[in-house]
Every structure is written in structure tokens, then in C-alpha cells.
Chains A and B, each alone.
Chain A
Amino acid sequence: MKVFSSLCTFDYSWEEVSTANWRKYCPWNDKSTHVVGVDTLSRRVDPDTGILRTERLITCNQTVPQWVSSLFGGSPTSHVYEVSYVDPVLKKVTMCSTNLTWANVLNVRETVIYQPSESSPPSTTDFQQEAKITALCGGWQKIKNKVEEASVERFKENAKHGREGFEAVLEMSRRVFSEQRERETSAA
């Protein structure tokens, strides 16, 4: 198993980040074009805690290295299952994702947490990401290591693009929201 983790802080409030997070993969994000579909499978608010639980299906179209596709074959379309929890009291978003495609050769489990930043809580938000990548294919350890390493590399690239793309979405969301507010105030 290999572990990839990253930390960063967004210069936006938790409310802004947790709202924009729902449209992270929209046309405003021109860096995560490998995501071609985001579908909500279920959504429920826990009556006791108020925690919002959402299941989504994320669909990606991504080219994989030639040696990977010759090993495992298959189409470039892959699916990811994501279950997320929003705790409006603790102000915490937790998202857990697992790959559906190639599930019998590779297990990728990602956990992402958005929380108000400890250093300046009202205005900035911390992002924590951890992915555990395990090659399940039988055979040589050497091949498993290679598969895991290639997956971590790909994960790193996507994470960097994901961050840049999300920054663009945050900026657009803030602009659109303030325009909307302005319109509402002038109409009132």
C-alpha cells in the first residue's frame, strides 16, 4: 500500500468552500476536465444530528499509461463512488471515495476533509486529503509496486489540478453570489 496526502488552505470561509464544493466539477473548473459526470445517488439529513449524507457517482474519462491499459485493458471511462458527510454544527465536510472500476486490481480510498482553519477560523478553510492506494493483482510484488507508484503519481497530478480548478470555482462563486445579492438589494 502507498499513501498520498496533502494539505492546503483556501482563502475562503467554510460556508463558501462547502457550497462551492458541490459544483467543483462544473464548467468554471477548466483543470479537472477528466471528470465528465457527477450524479447524486442519494441524499439525506439525519434528523438527530442534522448531518447531511450524500452519495455520488463521479465519472472520469482519463487516458492511462500504455503499459497499464495493456495489463488491465478496458475503456478509458472509470467510475468513483463518493459518500460525504456535512456536519453543520462542527463545520466539517468529510468526503470518502472509492474506485468502482478496476476494483479487483486496484483499491484507491480517498478521504478529504474541509474545516475552518485553526489559525484564522472565520475567513479561511483547511483542506486535508489522504489517499490509500493498494494494488490487489496477484503476482509479483515488483509489478504491484509499479502499479501503486504510477497511481500515486497520477493522483498527485490530479490533486494539483483539482486545487487550481477549485480556486477558479471559488472565485466565480463569490462573484456570482455578490452579483446576485446586489440584484436582490436593488430590487428590494
Chain B
Amino acid sequence: MAASIAPECNDIKEKYDTCFLKWYSEKYLRGNTTSNECEDLFAKYKTCLTKTLKERGIDNMLDEVRKNTPETDAEYNRRT
């Protein structure tokens, strides 16, 4: 799996990615879309990552670019 931009988050990221991939291929693609067994791992990974995003000013860039996501959400986050 690809690395994190924050090297100190690599271990927890690896655990989360493995969990997600297993869930995606074995549950989600087979129609079980509601379970969320990887959420605890994701919360830990996110706490770790957020620090680096702040330090490098990436969080501000993300706030800016997210102004456009309602557009793509309207197009793809629903079924017509």
C-alpha cells in the first residue's frame, strides 16, 4: 500500500488500509454496504494525519478546493 505523507502515521494507515480493502472486496462489493468495522482504525489514522496537514498548511488548501465538491457530489453522489 502507498505511504502516508506523515511517516509517523504509516503503521496505523497500513492497518486501516488493510481493513478497508478486506471490507470493500468481501462485504461492500457483495451488497453489505452498512457495516463499518474499520471506523475505529480510521479515527486513529485521521487524528495522526490531521496534525501534519495543519503543520504543512494543507488543511487550508483543502478548505479552498472543497468549495467545488458540491458540484461533483450533485453529479455523482446520487443515482439518476
Interface presence of A155 (CB below 8 A): no
Cβ of B47 under 8 Å from chain A: no
Give the contacting residue for B77; candidates A25, A81, A85; CB below 8 A: A85
Q: Which residues from chain A contact B68 at a C-beta distance below 8 Å?
A: 98
Partner among A19, A38, A100, A101 whose Cβ is within 8 Å of the Cβ of B29: A19
CA of A81 to CA of B4, assembled, Å: 14
Nearest B residue (CB) for A59: B5
Residues of B in contact, count (CB < 8 Å): 39
Tell whether A41 is near chain B: CB-to-CB under 8 Å.
yes
User: Count the A residues whose beta carbon is within 8 Å of the partner chain — how many?
Assistant: 40
B3 — nearest CB in chain A belongs to which residue?
Answer: A37
A79 contacts B by Cβ under 8 Å:
yes
Q: Do the beta carbons of B28 and A103 come within 8 Å of each other?
A: no
Tell which of B20, B34, B76 touches A96, judged by Cβ atoms closer than 8 Å: B76
Known: A46-B77, A51-B79, A96-B76. A22 touches B62 (CB 8 A): no
Interface residue SS majority, chain B: helix
Chain A residue numbers with a CB within 8 Å of B42 are 40, 43
- A23:B1 contact, CB within 8 angstroms: yes
Specify the chain A residue showing the minimal Cβ separation from B58: A79
Residues of chain A within 8 A (CB-CB) of B45 are 40
Residues in A whose Cβ lies below 8 Å from that of B34: 45, 47
C-alpha spacing A49/B28, complex, angstroms:
13
- Within 21-48 of A, Cβ neighbours of B (below 8 Å) are at 22-23, 25-26, 35-41, 43, 45-47
Specify which of B29, B42, B53, B78 lies most central, judged by the most chain A CB atoms within 10 Å of its CB. Answer: B29
Contacts of B31 in A (CB 8 A): 88
7 cross-chain pairs, A with B, having the tightest CB-CB distances, nearest first? A38-B2, A37-B5, A85-B76, A50-B33, A100-B61, A25-B2, A96-B72
Cα-based distance from A50 to B30 in the complex (angstroms): 12
State whether B13 touches A88 (Cβ < 8 A): no
